[in-house]
Chain A
Amino acid sequence: MKVIKIDKAKWASGVSSLQGTYKIIGPAVDGDAHNFKELAKGEEPDFNFLNTKLSPKSIVFPQSEKMLEYSVDENKEDHHIMKEVKKDYSPRAVVGIRPCDAKAINLVKMNFDTDDYKDPYWLKLYEATTFVGLACDKPCDSCFCTSTGCGPYNEEGLDILLKEDGASYVAKALTEKGETLLGAAGFSDAGDEAAFEAGKKDAEAKITSSVQTDKLKDFSTLDLYNADFWEDLSFACLNCGTCTFACPTCWCFDIQDEVKGKDGVRVRNWDSCMFPLFTMHTTGHNPRGTKEHRVRQRFMHKLKYFVDKYEKGIMCVGCGRCVNQCPVNIDIRKVCDVMNNHVPEPVK
């Protein structure tokens, strides 16, 4: 594993020289917060942020994405035949992704990359992307990554881990993809790995918020599902869907056809389990017809179904976005603890 030292004075020119080979996506000021966007030539990723308002999941899973295209013009020989859309899968690098968001992309990969089916859209963007993480030395109050199997220096899902170290950055190449990028940027001075050890310890100590998840896997699904706390936990929910859009591990989507003139596209858009239409049958019957059903689905999915299905822990990386952005202060940390501390009714 190569560790490289990058003088901050050489950083901008290095990133800029990458732009011949890579699209660079980095944090930038977007209204009242930071978000990830493609940076123009000469534009530097702005590291003066705690975390971005939206997660960077859209880099591999755009909010709206063309899947297929076709013509409905009956004068054309191939009308009503669906075709692949030509897309840009040239190399790109996301520079400054937080370790929690990188781990989230790894968790979501399990949904899109299965033994039976591969989602080509998600996987091709994933494969085209080099993930350059930025360690968190100043975690937010709402961060609880250390209790979700993640952490401010977590390396999972990253090709490079960067950390700030005074007048320089230290970069740890974690994969071949990462080494290639560092080489292309012309960064080659040897760095000291010890910086990571010390930084990690300090950063982890700053995270004071946590969740308890140890008992989740032992409950029967129906014990948790039928527990009496869901009405209370969902009472204030507006079903606005903010949590699902901000969440780096939420992946649900809708598929729609759109036709303009005689040209049609099949697109997929982010969807949300908070919306009644998500599950409504044509008959009007809705298996998750109340907000209590929908809130329960979201938390059961993240904290029970996912845990049981993949045995890789919970589907939450502790980024705290939903905690900060929920308009009615529903807090996944509280929900998780209530679930984990549930005492099932004794069997009569």
Chain B
Amino acid sequence: MENPYLPYPVRIDDIEVATEDKSLKTFKFVFLNEGDEEKFAYQAGQFAELSIPGVGEIPIGIASSPVEKGFVKFTVFKSGVVTTHLHQMKVGDVMGLRGPLGNWYPWDTLEGKNILIIGGGFAFTTLRSSIVYMLDPANRSKFGNIDVVYGARTPGMLLYKDELVEWEKRDDINMHLTIDTEAPNWDYNVGFTPTITEQKAPQADADTYAIVCGPPIMIRFTLPVLENLGYKNDRIILSLENRMKCGIGMCGRCNIGKELVCKDGPVFTLEDINLTPKEY
């Protein structure tokens, strides 16, 4: 019997400060044992438990993409016991990784469709994974137009800036970057994510899906905008967060109604979410 609680041993291969306030760092892990990377095969949108012996575990969305091989990346906000400890760890340190966990963005359904991605703040990690996946030469032709609205408070709070700049230059993805208020040397949009969505996002049609990830306040003001643009609830895809322990649907705390965020989610359509209690 495979033990789903036993993490794969990993080594921290690289640590990058991800935002100007240093509250987020991107950790690159490599697997210690041969074969574990293959066992960890994942899809964009899934998460994993970062497992620090002696400290605990924390569920975090996978920021690297299935098309990137040899490592797994997570961008982590320093907030609780485990993430604060992780932020103090060094390159070369050994810890555990358990997963991949949860479902993913519905890539089969999304094939042949136009994709609108809306992200805010540091909830851009699995969206980054998704964009890298879609832009991969082997995959780009499977999708129609790709639009990305991504907002942060300031330019320095945007994640993955080098990649954002590169994507801006491409003609097969429409980037709509935004910050909350004017800043020097900022050549893109200014305004909250919902406002920029209203101005820049494509109108809905039967072949367009929106994937939305961000803080609750952003989601609350973005959903009415999408409705005005004609997006139906089954075309709006969200990724939820809840407190988790096991990550495999057994420990009982992350449920919204009968759905378990860790196992039946974290990805749900708005249509599905509207049928469940709002306990997230």
Contacts and interface: CB of A to CB of B under 8 A. Distances in A.
Interface of A: 67-68, 70, 72, 79-82, 84, 111-112, 114, 116-120, 123-124, 220-222, 225, 251-257, 259, 264, 266, 268, 271, 273, 278-283, 287-288, 293, 297, 300-301, 304-306, 308-309
Given A84-B6, A305-B257, A124 B54 contact: no
B118 interface: no
Contact of A123 (B1, B54, B253): B1
Given A256-B56, A282-B83, 14 more contacts: A72-B53, A80-B53, A80-B95, A80-B96, A81-B53, A111-B250, A225-B277, A253-B251, A254-B245, A273-B252, A279-B242, A280-B243, A293-B279, A305-B255
A287 B216 CA distance: 12
B165 interface: no
Contacts of B258: 221, 304-306, 308-309
Interface of B is mostly: loop
Interface of A is mostly: mixed
B243 A82 contact: no
Interface string B1-36: 111111101000000000000000000000010000
Interface residues on B, range: 35 or more
8 contacts: A84-B3, A221-B276, A222-B277, A255-B56, A255-B245, A256-B56, A271-B252, A287-B279
A66 to B, nearest CB: 11
B53 A82 contact: yes
B93 A80 contact: yes
A238 B245 CA distance: 25
Contacts of B94: 79-81
Contacts, number: 134
A271 B246 CA distance: 12
A279 B277 CA distance: 14
Contacts of B9: 80-82
A220 B51 CA distance: 38
B244 to A, nearest CB: 10
A81 B249 CA distance: 24
Contacts of A68: 5-6
B280 interface: yes
Contacts of A72: 53-54
